[in-house]
Structure formats: C-alpha cells, structure tokens
C-alpha cells in the first residue's frame, strides 16, 4: 500500500490546551503503527502562542517550529529554510473547542473498528484524517507542507487522481457539494485551468451559482491545502517581519502584540487570481491585519494557486448542532471512506439485541438490559441496566455511579455528558444537560433549552433568569452558552447526575431539588470550557477501553470466536495495561474448565509476554523445559488446570525484568499450552477399539508394508488445534514410489524379556541402522523426546499398552508375565528424512498395527488412525491426522474432522471415473528437490498464528477446507486441469500458512516446470523434500529430467514414478527368518 512518508507531523492545539496529553497521544499512535509503515522521525504537539491566533497564525507558528527542529537535526545553530527543500511536513490543526467532545473535534471517537490494524485502539477523527492524508490524498505529492483542519469528517477515494506533474505554487483541495450546503460554507471560484480566482464564504445564491460545475455541484473548501517547498520557504520568511512575527512563539517571547490570521482568507486568498492588492489588503479587519495582508501579498503573490476537486470525495463540517453530530455518528460514511462504521465499536454489550439499528455505541461497557433507540449515540460510558434511552440522544462520559439516577428517567432528544474538570488543583466531575434542538448562541428570547422555549423552562422549574445571568449581562448575550446551569460544587453535599436530570422532570422533585441546585456553585458551558481536563478525559477513555477489552478477552475465548486478541495485547503493552490483560487471561484459563479454551488463553499470555519484549530477546520458538517451570507443568499434566495456571502466573513474575527473560517465559507458556493441547487431542483415544486375534508363534514375524501419501489439498487443516477448533478436510492419495511400498515394520516375539529396536532408514540407495536394546523401564523414559534414538518405537510400546509406563513392575517382569518373553522390532523407510510424504506417522501406524497383531490383538484402520494421533501427542511431535489417513487407507480419499472435541476423523473414499486411476499414474511424478526441511518451527509458527487468530490464518484455513472439497469434486469428475488448479492454489495456501516453506532452488525448479504441468506442490509442510507435479502430457519423466538438468542452481534432484496404491497396507504373519538380518520383503508369507 502506497503511503506518504512524513519528515515531521505537527498537531497544533489552543493555548492552555493540554499539549503534553496530545504529545502522548501522537507517541501512542507511533507505537501502535498508526502513522504508516515508516512513521515520521519528528512528532510534535504545538501549543498556539496566543489564545485567538487563528488557523493562519497557527500554520506559520507550526512551520517555524518544524523548521527549527529540522535545522537542529541537520546540525545547524540557526533556523534555515534550506531544510524545507526535501522535507514532507503535515500540520494538523485542532481548532476551537467542541460542544460534544471535551478533547475537541480531532479526538472525537468514530463508531469504527480497524480489524487489520496491528494494535487495537479507538478510532478518532484524527486517525481517520491521518489515514486519508497518509494513504490517499498526499500519495505522490512533491516535498512541501500539507495543512489539514480536523474540524470535519473527510472521505476520499483510494485513488484521488491528483496530477502532480510540473506542479508549482500552492494547491487547495476541494470536494464536490450541493449549492444548498455551500450557503453556510466556503466555495472556490476557479477557472477552466483549475486556477483559483476567489474564495467565497456564505455567498449569495448568484455567487455560489457562479462556482458550479457542469453537474451543478460546487467545489467546497474542505480545510486542506498544500504548499510547495518554494512557497513554504517564502511563507516561513515572513515570521520575522512585523506584524507577522506576532503569530509565532518567538513573537510572543519578543513582546509583540497578538494578531489573528485565517489560513484561507489571509494567507491563501493572497494568491487568488481574481484578487487585487487593494481589495485584498482592505479586507483586513484592523490596521495590524491590513499590514500583515500587505506583507503576505508581497511574499506569496507570485505563486500560482490551483485547485484539485476530488470526485466522489465527501466533506462534513462538524457543527455545534447536536442533530448534525448525532447524524454523523449514526450514518455510515460514504463508500469512498477507508473506515466502516459499525453499531457497536470497541464495546461490550450484555444484550446487543436491545440496540436498535441506526443507534451507535462506542467505547462502552453496557451491563444488563440497556435499550437504545435508533438515532441515539452512547460514547465512553459504563452503564448498568435496566435503562431505556429514547431517540435523538447523545450520552457521553457517564460511569456506573450514574446508572441509578438514569433508571426510570425518560430520555429523548437530549445531550447528557460527564466532564473531568480541574479548578486550579482540584479535580471535579461535572454533568451537563442540553436539548438536541438547542442552539448555544441564540439569545434566550428566541431560543430553547431542553428543546422548549426558555420561558416555558423557567415556568416548569421555578428557575429565574437572575439564577443564570448577572443583571448587567446584555439581553442579546443571555444565551445557553453563558447560562450558569451546571452545578460544580456544593458546600455540604456530593453532587451527581441527578443534580441536572431533575431539570427534565421537575414536577416530581421541584422544591427540594431547586433549593439544592440554587445552593450549589454553578458554571456555564463558556466558563467550564477553559477548565476541562483533557488529560484526565483521555485517561478515563483509555481505562474504559481496556476494561471493555478485558470483557472482550472473556467473550472471545469462552465463546470460541475467531477474533484475534493480538492487536489488543499489543495495545495493552504500549499503554501499560498488560497486567490487567494477563490477569484476565489467567482467570479464563483457570476457570474455563475446558483444556481447549485454557490452551488458547495460555497461548495469548505467551503473545502478551512476546509483545512486552518489544522485538528483543531472541526468537519466540525455543526450548521450554527449564526446571523452574516443572511444578506448573506437572500440575497441568495431572489434569489440575487451575493449579497449573496459578503456578505459571507465580513463576511468570520472576521472568518480567528483561526482554530475554520475557521471551523465555513466552516459550514456557507455549510449552504449557502444548500440554493442554495434547490432552485435548488424546480425547480421540475413545475411537480406538482393539479386538482379539490369534497369537502368532514365538519367533514368527508380523510384517506391515505401507504406501507413502500425497496430500493434494487441505493440509494444515488437520493440525491440532485447528482441526478441532475450526474443522479440517484433506484430500490424500496412497502411492507406491518407484513401484514399491516404501514404509514398513515387522515385529516378532523373542524368548529374552527385552525390547530389541532396529530402525533402517534413508534413500533407496543407502540404509542407516539404529539398534537399541531396552532391558529396564528407565531405558524408555525418553520416549517423549522426538529426537531421542528409538523414541517412536518406545512410544508405540507404551501407547499399545504392551508396556505399562510408568510402573512399579520392572520391564522384564511385565514382559515375562504378559508374553513369556520380549519383542524385536524392525522398521524401515526408503524415503529421505523430511520427505513430506508422511513417513513418520505412517511408520507409527505400521509399528502399532504389527505390535497389536504380534500380541494377539487386532485394530481396524479407523482405530489405527486415532491411535497414531494419540501416539504423536505422547511423542510430543504434535502432528495432525492426514499422514496416517493417506498411508493407511488405500487409494484416493478425503478425511474430515468437525470443529469439536473429542476429535474424530472420518474418511470418505473418492470414487473416480473408470480408467482415471491409470490416467493419474501416467500424469503424476515425484521430484526429489535435494533439500531437507525442519518442520518443527514451521508447526510452532502455524499453531501460534492460529491461536492468535490472525485474520490471514483464519481466512486461509477456510480456503484450505473449501479447496479440499473442490479438489475432491475435480477427482470425481476426472478433470486433470481442475485438479492442477487446486494443487497450485494449495501451494499458495501452504506458503500463506507457513511463510519460508519455499526454498529459492525449489522456486527455480517450479518456474522451470510450470509450462509443462497443470499444477505442482511441495509435499507435506514444504521447505524441501518432494515436489509432486501433475503433467500436461503422459509419461513425462525423461523429458522433464532433461529440462531440469539444464536449469541452473537446482542441486541434487531426482525424478521418481508414482502410482496410486489401491490395495493399501496389509498385516501379514510370515515365517521364522533363519537370517535375522534379512532385508524386509525377502520372507515368504505363510
């Protein structure tokens, strides 16, 4: 995504306007990735030097501050305009106070969520404008200075279509609007070349009509202007010339008298083609402004002023009308917007069905029955029902303590707000109440309060004019803005929401409430404005955001929702709320009573700890067997989840002091999560049923030979926990490689009470033998360490219950009592390590099948599939089920698992047209890439991303399952090109699931083969091993070998024929083998 790269981002705010709080807000956006991929090196909140500076003065002051900081960074000791040559500067003006948000229009929250954002946060108008400017409007513009007001909601299409070729001077941005809307706003009069002739504010119908385009719309002034670096240099140069020096903090420090300048009507208008110097200068109010205009004319007149009117953009000025404000928060923004408004944004609502369509709730916690009518808005409130809020209301800043006063109080068409104010050093809470239709500045004789004429209000309440305004206040100045309506302090009683709510229904409580109201010290909105404590308000919003965030954690985990909690974890770490989130995750893990939910909660704790390391401290994947964590792990292994979680939390506290310790703690939390995941998967044991069979004679071999498997689509969806949280589907084919079944095992009983384990492995040419003899139970202890010699065979003895481990009874005694001797096991694989053809799982199935038979038992194929799942959990390799389905069930099939525990795999054979199996044999080839893979970390990353519910992982899992069903359908039809498409799509899905699984040599190989194949894919997890290809022509082995031989950089590849194995594995009892070391397959079946 293209983005403008800012050198400096400045946010200007009014004098005394909590500049440090706004600086923190900018820094928070940098931390959470809200300022683009490369955030500006300089972020500055700049306070206006004077109380009434105007947008023009604020622009000049901000430009000076930017130039000063850039000069210092360049090593200069004085301000130099040279630093503006290549700089890209964005100045955002906060403007005046706003009746409906104590933090101003910039920080007015919008009812929107950004699911793709790296960190979860409230979306303010400032964020919307930053997104619009950075990713849309300013992309492709030359170096210079962009100035943007924050007093409007602005939506711009993703490609605004502004032509910057040969641009010079200054450019204003306009949006098309109706002539009716323009009567209360500014419009540009431009010529056919797009050069601005004049700016008309609140013009006559004739003046506005003059500005209209062919479609009848007019270009509205939308508060955005761009100065080229040349124009910005000239503007900066004026900061030393009186009276313009008074616009900057330097002027203030030099004792210059204040001056008020407008960006559009004093600075930009000086460049409008239709202006004469005389008319322009004369338009200034007092002598100092006329003098300033004269200076600006001289400095800027030479620059052309052009206009870019953006089609399909929209602009909505944030007025002081409550009706307008409520409408803007309950209507969806135009299709051009990068935001999507939603009914509930960053809120926890106990009963969402009580929120009517057309209502809006943002950053709230609504407990119990809170009914909200269409056309009403609640923001930053924590309320407890039962409450009923009628239409036309705006509620903001109310806490749970206000809920009692609101119960039974009929609210409609009112604005009810709680404010944080500071009187010198005394913090207070004050409530204000106004009507939706009230106007702040109209004289009382012509206006309303609480939507009724003032005279009626006085009559209803007993309040008199003298209670609200001083006798000397002129009648035209007596308005809602200056009315001392709102109680702030009382000599002997605590004030609350009821002290303004009584004004709505005075009949019930008039006398008592009126006396209390009169006795309180009250302030008007005009008097309250300078006392608003913006830092406290921003802090309260943040605290409420994380409180509802903790409810979200519970809701998502306990409801098994596919929402990612990682963005919330990042925010909690950035803002210092990580302890609260960790506490909630501990609580969910220990009380859920469900191993699956607890495992995901522990994975989320690992994510929080990882975030706290802030990218330092090493890789997330690593060992997790430090003894300090052993007690917690033992608790979890024993089934005491609550006790285990408590021990984990206690141990965690010792690992919080450095990034390296945090990362190691995160690894141990992932280790703990794996324990619970194993317990969840082992629920599949109930689908293992063992029957009785004849016990083979002592010394007779039981032999099993198995095909390999090709996964044609859906792999990864069979991996726990994905398979039981989402549901999985995998299309597999059992295949012979170069005409043989490459994987096998044989077992025989021997008279010595010991276990002899022999593993043969390697490519078709070479064989490596590992031989072990286990005479003590202690020799089996490392069965759960996958890399220990013979671990898989040891685990097979334990999982088939041939050997009881752990046990008080020695191994020799167990073997003699149950079987009159021990066992010898040989296993072999003619495939290389990490082949991707499912070797280890299929081998586990072969070993278990032969062990069962050698001990006089029999297991069905379905039982073996689930027994292998169980074995791999005990072995701690944590695999899925597709490999054993592929190798133990013959032919072409699709395996499926539902999103539930216990985990059960169901297999459906896929019927194909007559002769199609042979067609497939003629068109399928296997290419050994010569690369081996390490799948361990791939698997850890996939499970981590799934537990974090990264949107890409969830969408990709959906796609894997649907592609598997599509592939099954293509096989039923015998449609080779469609199967090839599924293979190609599957390869893209594998790369999405496990980035890094495509080595460069493999990419070259696939590029070379692409013209000759319908589709191709690396088998298994990828990263190396075998590539299988579906060729366009039949029997292409030799032709493709020649093509690959000519391709550079491929290394040691080989091509192998494969064919579908329709027979499947068989368990055979074969005779005694006179030559103990004979190669498997030399015996004759009996």
In this model, does residue 1005 exceed pLDDT 90?
yes
Please state the rounded mean pLDDT for residues 318-337: 83
Which pLDDT band holds residue 113 (cuts at 50, 70, 90)? very high
**According to the model, what pLDDT value does residue 286 have?**
86
pLDDT: is 742 or 683 the higher one? Answer: 742
Average confidence score pLDDT of the chain: 92
Q: Residue 529 above 90 pLDDT?
A: yes
Tell which phi-psi region holds residue 875, choosing left (phi > 0), alpha (psi between -120 and 50) or beta: alpha
- Which among 250, 320, 301 has a CA at the least distance from the CA of 50? 250
How far is the CA of 261 from the CAs of 189, 291, 422, 425, 920, in angstroms?
22, 12, 30, 33, 79
Find out whether the peptide bond into 902 is cis, omega within 30 degrees of 0.
Answer: yes
Tokens of 118: 């790296």
What is the rounded end-to-end Cα distance, in angstroms, of the chain?
68
The pTM of the full predicted model, rounded to 2 decimals, is 0.90
Reported as a pLDDT band with limits 50, 70 and 90, residue 767 is low
Question: 3-class DSSP state for residue 341?
Answer: strand
Q: What is the pLDDT of residue 22?
A: 96
- Whole-number percent of the chain with pLDDT over 70: 97
Greatest Cα pair distance, the chain, in angstroms, is 122
Looking at per-residue pLDDT, the higher value among 409 and 985 belongs to: 985
Q: Tens digit of pLDDT for each residue in 728-753? A: 999 999 999 999 999 999 999 999 99
Question: How far is it, in rounded angstroms, from Cα 223 to Cα 234?
Answer: 21
**Torsion over CA of 993, 994, 996 and 997, rounded to 10 degrees?**
-100
Q: In which residue are the tokens 């109010």 written? A: 285
Q: Which residue has better confidence, 234 or 939?
A: 234
User: Residue 764 pLDDT > 50, yes or no?
Assistant: no
> 535-547: string of b/e by CB count within 10 Å (b at 16+)?
bbbbebbbebbbb
List the structure tokens of 510: 């008039």
Highest mean pLDDT among 589-598, 766-775, 996-1005: 589-598
Which contacts qualify for 793-798: CB closer than 8 Å, 24 or more apart? Answer: 793/755, 793/757, 793/759, 793/825, 793/827, 793/847, 794/755, 794/757, 795/844, 795/871, 795/874, 795/875, 796/825, 796/844, 796/847, 796/848, 796/851, 796/871, 797/755, 797/823, 797/851, 798/874
pLDDT for 159 beyond 80? yes
Distances (CA, A) of 1064 to 587, 702, 888, 924: 49, 16, 6, 19
Q: How far apart are CA 367 and CA 29, in angstroms?
A: 30
pLDDT > 90 fraction of the chain, expressed in percent and rounded: 81
Write out pLDDT tens, residues 844-859.
999 999 999 999 999 9
Length in residues, the chain: 1086
Which residue would you say has higher pLDDT here, 745 or 770? 745
pLDDT in tens, 918-971: 999 999 999 999 887 654 577 888 999 999 999 999 999 999 999 999 999 999
Residue 1083 pLDDT class (50, 70, 90 cuts)? very low
User: Is the pLDDT higher at 929 or at 256?
Assistant: 929
Output the pLDDT for position 743: 96
* Residue 481, H or E segment: none
Map residue 812 onto helix, strand or coil: helix
Residue linked to tokens 């969910």: 588
Lookup: tokens for 923 = 């068109």
- Residue 982: name the closest of 892, 905, 881 by CA: 892
Strand partners, 976: none
pLDDT score for 36? 75
Strand partners, 1039: none
Q: Write down the pLDDT at residue 338.
A: 67
Task: Compute the average pLDDT of residues 498-521.
Answer: 87
464-507 confidence digits (pLDDT tens): 999 999 999 999 999 999 999 999 999 988 999 999 999 998 77
Alpha helix ranges (H) inside 149-189: 179-182
How deeply is 364 buried, as exposed, middle or buried, from its count of CB atoms within 10 A (0-12, 13-18, 19+)?
A: buried
pLDDT beyond 60 at 1081 = no
Phi, psi of 459 (to 5 degrees): -65, -45
pLDDT, average across residues 539-563: 97
pLDDT for the residue numbered 508: 65
6-45: pLDDT as tens digits: 999 999 999 876 899 999 999 999 998 888 778 888 999 9
pLDDT in tens, 563-592: 999 999 999 999 999 999 999 999 999 999
Q: Cα separation of 375 and 330, whole Å?
A: 6
| CB neighbour burial string for 948-969, b if at least 16 within 10 angstroms, e if fewer | bbeeebbebbebbbebbbbbbb
pLDDT exceeds 90 at position 543:
yes
Read off the pLDDT of each residue in 81-88 and give the average, rounded to a whole number.
94
**Helix or strand run (H / E) with residue 1026:** strand 1026-1031
pLDDT tens figures, 170-220: 999 999 999 998 898 999 999 999 999 999 998 899 999 999 989 999 999
> Could you report the per-residue pLDDT of 383-422, keeping only the tens digit for each?
998 999 999 999 999 999 999 999 988 899 999 999 999 9
């Amino acid at each position: 995504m293209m983005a403008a790269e800012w050198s400096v981002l400045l946010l200007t705010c009014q004098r005394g306007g909590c500049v440090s709080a706004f600086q923190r807000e900018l820094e928070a956006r940098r931390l959470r990735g809200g300022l683009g991929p490369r955030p500006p090196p300089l972020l500055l909140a700049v306070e206006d030097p004077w109380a009434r500076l105007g947008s023009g003065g604020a622009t000049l002051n901000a430009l000076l501050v930017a130039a000063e900081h850039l000069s210092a960074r360049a090593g200069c000791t004085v301000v130099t305009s040279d630093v503006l040559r290549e700089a890209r500067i964005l100045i955002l003006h906060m403007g005046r106070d706003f009746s409906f948000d104590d933090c101003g229009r910039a920080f007015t929250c919008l009812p929107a969520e950004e699911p793709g954002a790296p960190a979860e946060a409230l979306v303010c108008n400032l964020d919307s404008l930053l997104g619009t400017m950075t990713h849309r409007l300013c992309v492709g513009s030359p170096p210079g200075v962009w100035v943007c007001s924050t007093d409007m909601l602005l939506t711009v299409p993703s490609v605004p279509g502004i032509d910057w070729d040969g641009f010079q001077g200054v450019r204003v941005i306009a949006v098309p609007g109706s002539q009716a809307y323009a009567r209360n706003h500014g419009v540009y009069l431009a010529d056919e070349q797009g050069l601005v002739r004049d700016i008309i504010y609140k013009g006559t119908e004739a003046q506005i009509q003059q500005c209209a385009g062919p479609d009848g719309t007019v270009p509205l002034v939308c508060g955005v202007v761009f100065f080229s670096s040349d124009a910005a240099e000239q503007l900066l140069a004026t900061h030393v010339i009186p009276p313009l020096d008074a616009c900057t903090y330097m002027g203030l420090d030099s004792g210059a008298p204040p001056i008020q300048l407008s960006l559009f009507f004093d600075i930009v208008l000086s460049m409008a083609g239709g202006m004469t110097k005389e008319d322009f200068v004369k338009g200034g109010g007092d002598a100092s402004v006329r003098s300033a205009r004269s200076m600006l004319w001289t400095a800027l007149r030479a620059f052309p002023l052009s206009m870019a009117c953006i089609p399909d953009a929209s602009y909505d000025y944030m007025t002081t009308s409550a009706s307008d404000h409520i409408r803007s928060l309950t209507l969806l923004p135009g299709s051009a917007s990068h935001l999507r408004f939603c009914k509930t944004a960053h809120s926890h609502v106990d009963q969402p069905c009580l929120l009517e369509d057309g209502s809006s709730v943002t950053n709230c916690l609504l407990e119990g029955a809170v009914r909200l009518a269409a056309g009403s808005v609640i923001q930053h409130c924590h309320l407890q029902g039962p409450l009923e809020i009628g239409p036309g209301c705006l509620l903001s800043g109310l806490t749970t303590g206000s809920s009692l006063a609101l119960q039974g109080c009929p609210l409609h068409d009112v604005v009810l707000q709680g404010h944080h104010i500071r009187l010198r050093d005394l913090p207070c809470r004050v409530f204000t109440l106004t009507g939706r239709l009230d106007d702040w500045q109209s004289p009382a004789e012509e206006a309303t309060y609480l939507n009724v004429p003032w005279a009626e209000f006085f009559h209803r309440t007993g309040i008199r004019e003298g209670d609200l305004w001083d006798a000397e206040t002129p009648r035209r100045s007596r308005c809602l803005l200056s009315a001392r309506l709102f109680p702030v302090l009382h000599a002997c009683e605590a004030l609350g929401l009821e002290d303004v709510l009584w004004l709505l229904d005075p009949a019930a409580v008039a006398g008592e409430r009126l006396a209390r109201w009169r006795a309180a010290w009250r302030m008007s909105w005009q008097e309250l404005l300078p006392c608003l404590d913006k830092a406290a308000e921003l802090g309260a919003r943040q605290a409420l955001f994380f409180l509802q965030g903790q409810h979200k954690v519970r809701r998502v985990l306990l409801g098994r929702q596919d929402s990612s909690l990682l963005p919330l974890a990042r925010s909690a770490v950035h803002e210092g709320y990580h302890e609260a989130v960790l506490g909630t995750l501990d609580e969910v893990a220990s009380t859920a009573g469900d191993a699956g939910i607890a495992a995901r909660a522990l994975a989320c704790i690992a994510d929080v700890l990882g975030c706290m390391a802030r990218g330092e401290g090493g890789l997330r994947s690593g060992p997790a067997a430090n003894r300090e964590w052993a007690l917690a792990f033992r608790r979890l292994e024993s089934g005491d989840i609550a006790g285990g979680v408590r021990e984990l939390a206690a141990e965690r506290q010792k690992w919080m002091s450095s990034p390296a310790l945090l990362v190691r703690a995160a690894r141990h939390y992932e280790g703990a999560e794996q324990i619970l995941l194993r317990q969840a998967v082992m629920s599949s044991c109930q689908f293992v049923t063992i029957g009785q069979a004849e016990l083979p004679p002592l010394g007779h071999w039981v032999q099993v030979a198995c095909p390999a498997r090709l996964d044609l689509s859906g792999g990864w969806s069979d991996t726990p926990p994905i398979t039981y949280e989402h549901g999985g589907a995998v299309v597999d084919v059992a295949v012979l490689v170069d005409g043989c079944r490459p994987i096998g095992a044989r077992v025989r009983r021997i008279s010595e009470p010991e276990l002899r384990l022999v593993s043969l492995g390697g490519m078709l040419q070479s064989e490596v033998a590992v031989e072990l003899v286990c005479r003590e139970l202690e020799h089996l202890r490392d069965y759960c360490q996958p890399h220990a010699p013979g671990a898989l065979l040891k685990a097979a003895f334990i999982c088939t219950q041939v050997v009881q481990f752990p046990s008080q009874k020695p191994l020799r005694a167990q073997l003699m009592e149950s079987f009159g001797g021990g066992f010898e096991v040989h296993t072999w694989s003619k495939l290389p390590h990490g082949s991707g053809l499912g070797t280890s799982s299929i081998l586990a199935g072969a070993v278990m099948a032969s062990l069962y038979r050698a001990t006089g038992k029999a297991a069905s194929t379905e039982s073996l599939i689930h027994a292998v799942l169980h074995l791999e959990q005990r072995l701690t390799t944590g695999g899925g089920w597709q490999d054993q389905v592929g190798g133990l069930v013959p032919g072409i099939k699709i395996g499926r698992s539902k999103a539930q525990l216990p985990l059960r795999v169901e297999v459906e054979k896929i019927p194909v047209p007559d002769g199609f199996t042979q067609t497939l044999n003629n068109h399928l080839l296997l290419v050994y890439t010569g690369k081996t893979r390490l799948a361990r970390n791939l698997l850890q990353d996939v499970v981590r991303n799934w537990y974090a519910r990264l949107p890409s992982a969830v969408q990709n899992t959906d796609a894997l399952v649907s592609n598997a069903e599509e592939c099954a359908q293509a096989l039923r039809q015998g449609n080779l090109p469609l199967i090839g498409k599924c293979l190609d799509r599957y390869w893209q899905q594998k790369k999405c699931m496990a980035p890094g699984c495509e080595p460069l040599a493999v990419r070259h190989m696939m590029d070379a083969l692409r013209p000759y194949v319908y589709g191709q894919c690396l088998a298994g997890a990828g990263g190396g091993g075998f590539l299988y290809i579906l060729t366009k022509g039949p029997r292409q082995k030799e032709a493709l070998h020649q093509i690959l031989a000519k391709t550079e950089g491929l290394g040691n590849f080989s091509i192998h024929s494969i064919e579908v194995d329709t027979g499947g594995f068989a368990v055979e009892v074969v005779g005694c083998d006179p030559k103990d070391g004979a190669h498997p397959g030399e015996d004759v079946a009996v």
